Amino acid sequence: MTDAEFLRAFEDTTLEPFHHRDHLRVTYLYLRQFGEEGTRERLGPAIFRYAAARGGAEKYHQTITLAWIRLVAAALEDGFDATLREHPELLDKSLLNRYYSTAVLQSPEARERWVEPDRFNL
């Protein structure tokens, strides 16, 4: 699937399946298109809309979304696959545990708004 087809399917909520690598790809493509600030503004609402269309609006988590944007933005390379080759740690869904304790990351506050890491800065 081309990047344009992938984004179109994500944005119209028909993309299936949607796993961690797909989240990374969407983040990468948004960063390339909108820059980091624009991605911070656009990606959260897009993921929430996708989750809501799948009956999972309660799964959306603002801090996790913004943290992954920071991590992917810091790792950008020439292409998506090159980025993942250079930074394979991004494929580890538990990477945020390096930066956040479970208590902070799972707090209602973190789900609703950005919360700074309590272990190490991103």
- The reply to whether omega before 17 is within 30° of 0 (cis) is yes
Task: Give me the number of domains the chain comprises.
Answer: 1
pLDDT band at residue 48, thresholds of 50, 70 and 90?
very high
Instruction: Identify which of 34, 56, 52 has the alpha carbon closest to the alpha carbon of residue 43.
Output: 34
Q: Is residue 8 part of a domain?
A: yes
Note the maximum CA span of the chain.
39
**17 within a domain of the structure (yes/no):** yes
102 lies in some domain: no
Cα first-last separation, the chain: 31
In a domain, 121, yes or no: no
Query: Which residues form the domain of 54?
Result: 3-92
Looking at the domain assignment, is residue 47 inside a domain? yes
In the chain, count H helices and then E strands. Answer: 6, 0
116: in domain: no
Q: Has residue 111 been placed in a domain?
A: no
Model pLDDT for residues 76-110, shown as the tens digit of each residue = 888 899 999 999 999 999 999 999 999 999 999 99
